[in-house]
Amino acid sequence: MTKSAPELSIDDVRDRLESTIHTAFEQDGSTLVEALPAMGKSYHAIKWAETTGKHLSVFTSRRELYGQYEQWCINRELDFHVLPAFHHLCDTMGEGYSIENDVSEVYDAGISGAEIHRKSKQYFGSKLPCQHDGPCQYMDAREFNPEDYDVLIGHYLQAHNRDYLEDRYVAIDEFPSDAYFFDPTHNEATRAVSNYLKAEDNLPFENWKDLRYRRHKDEYEDTVEEWKDELGFYSHRDTRVQLQQNPGFHAHAPLLTHAGLEFELLGNEWEYAELGSGRKAVRSPEDEWTVLIPPPFYAAESVVALDGTPMINKWRLVLGGDWVNHETVLEDDQEKRTYLSEVLGLRIIQTDAGTKPYESGVHVNTQSDGALLESVPEREGTRPAVITSKTAKEIYRSSGLDDYIERIGHYGDLKGSNDFADTDLAIVIGSPHPPENEAVERWAAFDGESVERATDEDGQDLRGVDLDLGPLGNALFQDVVQYEVLQAVMRFGRTPDKPVHGATVYVHTSRLPEWVNPETYLEVTTWSNGMQEVVETIKSSKKWPNGEWTNKEIAEGISIGKKQVCDLMKELDEEGYVSHCRAGRGNAYHWSNVKLESLAEYGEVV
């Protein structure tokens, strides 16, 4: 007996969400709240602060999202403060000053914006331009008491400041991606280590190469262990001004040195290092370094992570702990399906397209995409909005396919966006496919795990729908690909509390989560090059549109012969685009136009 779909309303969902968020903030440590898009999870975090009177810090991705939080705070009469950002408020940056590049170099070397201002004479020999008429407005903006505000609003990176965490509850709105990554090149990392070792008397190595080859010698074991034991959280940063004049200086040199001492080889040639306090480093087979430096979230009263389609392993890593609580608003896959169809009013129509990895643009199929883009306005009576890859977006523009599109967005520009909330007809075309070394192998390495593609019996990598990266690798891949496709689908018709809401969304890729059940499946067929030649020949002839054509006449001057022309004309005849009679020498076919002008340019959709 088939399980019936549960009854679910937007009020039910939001009541559950409110209860879940209250429970999450009451728990010690970090809690991940899984709540699909359009539930109002960001708003309910602010509502929690107003209801409980607790001090809240919210960290999110883009400044344009701050306005939503500001308005919610105003509506609920909460005192709020937007945290000052160095690049946004400092007039030295972005104003065309000649010193700007020098400031950027010091900042990129791991010195904070505040430290740059405090020691500007030591770094640059004079005050910064923004300090000539008094304190920089950035430094002025830093002079506030966090206790005076119910809500602090800032970017993920600003969570590194303990003043914004202590005695406060923290909400992290959506996954911070690589915000807590430090990505030096191999040369930058090794130069920084070598530079540091020249000044560090407590380690017996002269440079990076010396450390690399002699770190495991028994004679150095006690010295190395003593150096590591003395490292605290802040001693992983080197801020000695005298060293900053040396080429290759970086404030994270002690952390990089620690990583060099700890690296262990994984099965897929990646290296992994555990650095304490949630910090980890990995090194790819191509010598690309990444250091994960989570903020000191342990200083907060509690931390609540808000995400629609979360990957628990990745959240645990960026939160810097060994464990994260996990709370869900919807109980199971059936409730998720009900939420999509009944609460959000989404009609999902999926085509028979394959995976369609569109990140690079190499596999963009303008014929198949064109057939669907032509068909949808005829089926629905209006042009659709489209979300696809950034590369495909440019290809559509250059090929004229954007004539069929009302508006277009791309993967990677959707997080927190409500630009398509009022759109009720859309197509999601193709799937993101970021480099597996970044999206899968690197994240697995942070967990000390090795991930590799499975191969077939001939030793060839499995691809497309057969792609297999093992349990952890598949989960990491799905987190980037399947859930980004789902997030794109759920960008449309996001007004569940309005009388008329919802959207019809065509999905032109197979990369949807398995629990999503499309309402309908479509088959997209594209015309062959021969068919396109035949139709173009007929429509460009002097006898168009009321004449008659034989197979021989059509075949003259094109790349296919009379027999293939005849087969293609019979297809058009069966679909009612042309008609025929047989007459003359050899009882030849004579073709006449019926409605060939209405034949779609790219193909048909059934």
The token pair that represents 314 in the structure block:
């990745």
pLDDT in tens, 38-78: 899 999 999 999 999 999 999 998 777 899 999 999 999 99
Classify 188 as helix, strand or coil. Answer: helix
What does the pLDDT read at residue 497?
66
What does the pLDDT read at residue 1?
43
pLDDT in tens, 496-531: 666 667 899 999 999 999 999 999 999 999 999 999
The answer to whether residue 579 scores a pLDDT higher than 70 is: yes
The token pair that represents 78 in the structure block:
């909460």
Query: Please, which residues bridge with residue 154 across strands?
Result: 59
Confidence label for 2 from pLDDT (cuts 50, 70 and 90): very low
Tell which residue, 209, 197, 184, has the closest CA to residue 109. Answer: 184
The answer to whether residue 284 scores a pLDDT higher than 50 is: yes
What does the pLDDT read at residue 4?
55
Task: Compute the average pLDDT of residues 437-451.
Answer: 93
DSSP 8-state class, residue 240: -
Q: DSSP letter string over 405-437?
A: -SEEEETTS-TT--TTTT--EEEEESB----HI
Query: Please, which residues bridge with residue 173 across strands?
Result: 306
The token pair that represents 451 in the structure block:
């991930």
First CA to last CA across the chain, in angstroms? 31
The answer to whether residue 360 scores a pLDDT higher than 70 is: yes
What does the pLDDT read at residue 234?
66
Query: Please, which residues bridge with residue 56 across strands?
Result: 151, 169
Confidence label for 474 from pLDDT (cuts 50, 70 and 90): confident
Classify 184 as helix, strand or coil. Answer: coil
**Burial of 455 by CB count in 10 Å (0-12 exposed, 13-18 middle, 19+ buried)?**
exposed
* In 400-528, alpha helices (H): 436, 442-446, 470-480, 482-489
**Burial of 580 by CB count in 10 Å (0-12 exposed, 13-18 middle, 19+ buried)?**
middle
Check the CA dihedral 498-80-44-410 and report its sign: positive
What does the pLDDT read at residue 562?
93
Element holding 113 (H helix, E strand) = helix 113-118
- For residue 353, the Cα-to-chain-centroid distance in whole angstroms is 22
pLDDT in tens, 368-409: 999 999 999 999 999 999 999 999 999 999 999 999 999 999
* Percent of the chain residues topping a pLDDT of 90: 76
Q: Enumerate domains of the chain plus CATH numbers.
A: 10-84+142-180+296-328 (3.40.50.300), 181-292 (no CATH), 344-433+481-525 (3.40.50.300), 527-605 (1.10.10.10)
